[in-house]
Amino acid sequence: MTSARPEMDGRNLWDELMALRDQQREERANGLQVVRRKDLPAELNTHGVMRWYMHPFLKDLALSTLAIHEQEIPAGSRSGRLKFQGGQIVFVIEGSGYTTIDGVKHKWKAKDVLNLPLKRDGIIVQHFNASEDKTARILVVEPNLYAATSVDRGCGFEQLESAPDFTNQRA
pLDDT above 60: residue 102: yes
Query: How confident is the model at residue 151, as a pLDDT?
Result: 64
β-pairing, 43-45 vs 48-54, is antiparallel
pTM, entire model? 0.79
17-35 average pLDDT score: 87
d(CA 139, CA 13): 39
Check residue 37 and report its DSSP letter.
Answer: G
Query: How confident is the model at residue 170, as a pLDDT?
Result: 53
Domains and CATH numbers, the chain: 7-161 (2.60.120.10)
Contact 104, 126 (CB under 8 A): no
Q: Which residues contact 144 (CB under 8 A, 6 or more apart)?
A: 54, 56, 64, 65, 66, 67
Query: How confident is the model at residue 23, as a pLDDT?
Result: 86
pLDDT, averaged across the chain: 90
| Phi and psi angles of residue 107, each rounded to the nearest 5 degrees, phi first | -75, 150
